[in-house]
Amino acid sequence: MPADMQMAELFGWRKGSFTGALRDNPGRVAAADGGTLFIDEIDKLSFKAQAGLLHILEERKYRPLGERGSEREAHVRFVIGTNADLQSAVRAGRFREDLYYRINVLPVKVPPLTERRDEIVAWARFMVQRRHSQS
């Protein structure tokens, strides 16, 4: 996804702010107001989107694309997910170091299922049950 669209998806946009913006879109941050926003695969964010995310984490404010007024307050808890080694990405220059330290406050590492073989049967039952209940 292009960098500008990553920003637009996160922070929203105003009608007419870019080609194809036929209506206002509040964005994911506004949709999660008062709750939690899960951002998966954070390592895939562009540097521009990383900077925008860092700003919202530090200032708790954001501005939708094309909005001219003051910034909006963000009342959102963020949970970040990735299967990438972000420390290596920082060293390689692919991920912002300041953002890494901002999001690495309470890391939860889940070992791969191959290291938790005793859970495979329980996971398989859960997935079959969930799929069955959706039918």
Local confidence pLDDT in tens for the 135 residues of the chain: 777 789 999 999 989 888 888 898 999 999 999 999 999 999 999 999 999 999 999 999 999 988 888 899 999 999 999 999 999 999 999 999 999 999 999 999 889 889 999 999 999 999 999 999 876
Note the pLDDT of residue 39.
Answer: 96
Determine the distance from the C-alpha atom of residue 79 to the mean position of all C-alpha atoms in its chain, rounded to a whole number. Answer: 7
Q: What is the pTM of this model?
A: 0.80
Q: What is the widest separation between alpha-carbon atoms in the chain?
A: 55
Interatomic CA distance for residues 130 and 133, integer angstroms: 5
Interatomic CA distance for residues 126 and 91, integer angstroms: 39
The closest of 45, 59, 38 to 5, measured between CA atoms, is 45
Note the pLDDT of residue 20.
Answer: 85
